[in-house]
Structure 1
Amino acid sequence: MATRTATIASSIGLHSRPAAIFVEAVEDSGLEVEIGRVGEPTVDAGSILGVMALGARNGEVVELTAEGPDAEAVLDRLVELLNSDLDAE
């Protein structure tokens, strides 16, 4: 299982547009990805409702996990997204 941490850079956190961009990237990966605050329960990163319900705010650290082919590369791309201000794009 591959694991990465990321800091939420979007000013409104993982809400609305940033969450939709992130979830679309997860779905495009074809892998099952989980996201959550470090040490807390995770949610399905491919679920817009799950990601928004997580309530991750700007500056918070989240942990991503995935299994499968190219999981390391997929998580690297997802971390790049979360470390970017998705509100500005």
Structure 2
Amino acid sequence: MLFHVRMDVNIPVDMPAEVASEIRSREKAYSQELQRSGKWRHIWRVVGEYANYSIFDVESNAELHDILTALPLFPYMKISVTPLCRHPSSIRDDDA
């Protein structure tokens, strides 16, 4: 199942810099692990915002929920999810 996910990050301004840096480091490692596994297929930064648009390829709504809630930055995120399905006019075989 494919999902389009927008993540807006809002780290509290009073969070100590070293704590924020450590959380971002864990977030990067986790997201790259998911990208290597094929679960997190694409990630794009939103210009001028601390936000991203991503495409996830997972087995179920529950799996996506588990992945998103395990993100180290999850407590500081606003997330919106849109389920996707293959468009009949698509010429790509790998976008199922």
TM-score scaled by structure 1?
0.43
Structure number having the greater strand percentage: 2
Max Rg structure? 2
